[in-house]
Each structure stands twice: as structure tokens, then as C-alpha cells.
Structure 1
Amino acid sequence: MDLTIFDHTEGVLTDDQRQLAERLLNYAAAYLKLADNVEMSLTFVRNPEIKQLNKQYRGVDRATDVISFAAEDSSDESQIIMPEELKEELPENLGDLFICIDKVPEQAKFLGHSADRELGFLCVHGFLHLNGYDHEKAEDEKKMFALQREILDSYGLKR
């Protein structure tokens, strides 16, 4: 997977956190058996930036922990039609993931687990959204959360 990581945290993001996110997202892509030519971006932000994104795109005027913008949203009617052999050559863009680094220690403490586990959860949760999973309905939530737990546990980030 081609993963591009941006750091908007003004020095708050550590190298260890960046490396954990990169390794875990590549692990999750392999776990889901995604093609090698998928790509996505991950941007680490602070509370003010994610609050702005949350307000602009979701209409919620508060900071949140993770926001996913899937590139291949099924409601998008402007998808490009191309020959199948060309589709196989071009990378598939999963979308953009934004994680608020300020929320990681706060939520880890509240939930009683490590900051690494919380960061891992946010990465996998957002990643699954980019891959079409959601938790709007009870049965979808059960499926998505079970898969999250499987990926995190098998990676070694148990609760």
C-alpha cells in the first residue's frame, strides 16, 4: 500500500507514533487482502484543525478523534468509467484519514488502555471506514467492531 503521512501537529506527533500508524495500516491492508496498488493518506492534526474539519464536513462544532473521507464513496455518481485492464494498472485511492493526536492520550486514559492501543484503534477504525465499513446499523457495527478487534489483537494491540 502506498501510504502518505502528513504531520500537522507542530511537533506533538512522535516518531514512534508515526511508525506505529504506518506499520499498522500496512498490516490492516494485508489483513484485508487489498491489492498492492492501493493508496491513501493519513494526516495527524490537533484539536483546532479537526474541529474545523468536523464542522465543515459533518456540521458538528467540536473536536473529534478521527475523520475518514473515502475516495470511492458509493453515492458518488461521477465515477470514471475505464477499461478493466487500465483499472488494474492505476492505483486505487482509498481516501484520506485524519487523526487528532490530542485525543489519543485523553481517550486512552478514559478507556483504561495504552496510548498505542488507542492510536491503533483510531487508525484501524478510520481505515475500515475508507474500505466501506460503517456502524450506522447494529449488524454493521457488530461486523465492523469485530473486524477491528481481530486486526488489533492479531497485530498485538490487545485491550
Structure 2
Amino acid sequence: MSIEVNNESGFEVDEAEFAALARYVLDEMHVHPQTDLSIMLVGTEVMTELHVKWMDEPGPTDVLSFPMDELRPGRDGEVTPAGLLGDVVLCPEVAAQQAVTAGHSTVEELLLLTTHGILHLLGFDHAEPEEEKEMFALQRRLLLTFLAGR
């Protein structure tokens, strides 16, 4: 599995921790071990450009996901085919503001957003209440079990 973490934001993070989280989430979701994923941390200017271009919404956002091969989670005992999962783009400055409101650290918020972004790449969404309930419960379980094991 190739997980590339590229930090262009100027915000200091442990890139290995983000790669380990992504590896954990993909393993738990039964994604083929040779699947590629990119995680990028960018500043507000870059995130604003991406948000306007791809979502047609003003200002920066916390996370954007750009799926490539539209891979879906495997099931117990079987994994997805190998492929290019896509890109998760994070904005630490927006995450820092959200972390204050949520009452945890910026790094914890970024790890949450990384999990959220990967689930979007795997086809999860939260547009409908039932989808939101499923996705957010899964995201919480994955992040808490990862954090408990580190």
C-alpha cells in the first residue's frame, strides 16, 4: 500500500502518524494492500481555490476528497481490487478553529478529518440522516480504536 503524506501547509504534523492512521482505516475497511492514497495538507489559499473550483463554494473548508478508481470497502475475508483510491486534502488552519469548538487538539481534528476523507473516498456520504448516522459512527469507531492502539 502506498500512502503518501505531503505537508505544504507549514503546520507541523507527524506525517508517519497520518500514514499509520490511513493504513489502519484501509485495513479495517478491507481495502487491497496495494491501493494508493495521497493525503495533502495545504494552506487556506490553496484550500479556498480547490473549494471554489470543485465545490463552487466560497472560502476554505476543512477537508476535500477526490476519488479516483471509485473503490468500495471489502467484506470480512475478501478485499477490494488494488487501485488508486484518491486524494484527501486537509486544511490545518480550518481544522484548528474547529478543534477549539470541539474541545480537542488540532492534530486530533486533522486525524478525524483524515478518517472522514478516506470514508468519502470509499463511497460513504452524509447527505441523508441515515447515511450520516452510519458514516459518523464508523468514523468515530475507526478513529477511537486507532488512537487507543497507539
Task: State the TM-score bracket (shorter-chain normalisation).
Answer: 0.7 to 0.9
Q: Tell me the matched-pair count.
A: 140
Determine the structure 1 residue equivalent to 2:8: 8
Kindly report which structure 2 residues correspond to 1:10-89, keeping only aligned pairs within 5 A, or say none.
12-16=10-14, 18-73=15-70
Determine the structure 2 residue equivalent to 1:83: none
Structure 1 runs of 4+ aligned residues shifted over 4 Å read: none
Residues 94-116 of structure 1: CA deviation (Å, up to 9, x unaligned): 11110002122221111111222
Structure with larger Rg? 1
Kindly report which structure 2 residues correspond to 1:86-125, keeping only aligned pairs within 5 A, or say none.
91-125=82-116
What are structure 1's unaligned runs of at least 5 residues? Answer: 75-86
Whole-Å separation in 1 of the counterparts to 2:70 and 2:83: 12
Whole-Å separation in 2 of the counterparts to 1:48 and 1:93: 27
TM-score by length of 2: 0.86
Determine the structure 1 residue equivalent to 2:124: 133
What's the CA shift for 1:15? 4.4
Q: Residue 156 of structure 1: SS of its match in structure 2?
A: helix
Whole-Å separation in 2 of the counterparts to 1:99 and 1:31: 22
Whole-Å separation in 2 of the counterparts to 1:40 and 1:97: 8
Whole-Å separation in 1 of the counterparts to 2:94 and 2:46: 12
CA RMSD of aligned residues (A): 1.8
Whole-Å separation in 1 of the counterparts to 2:16 and 2:100: 22
What are structure 2's unaligned runs of at least 5 residues? Answer: 72-79
TM-score by length of 1: 0.81
Residues 67-91 of structure 1: CA deviation (Å, up to 9, x unaligned): 00111349xxxxxxxxxxxx95xx4
Whole-Å separation in 2 of the counterparts to 1:48 and 1:15: 19
Whole-Å separation in 1 of the counterparts to 2:70 and 2:54: 15
Whole-Å separation in 1 of the counterparts to 2:47 and 2:133: 27
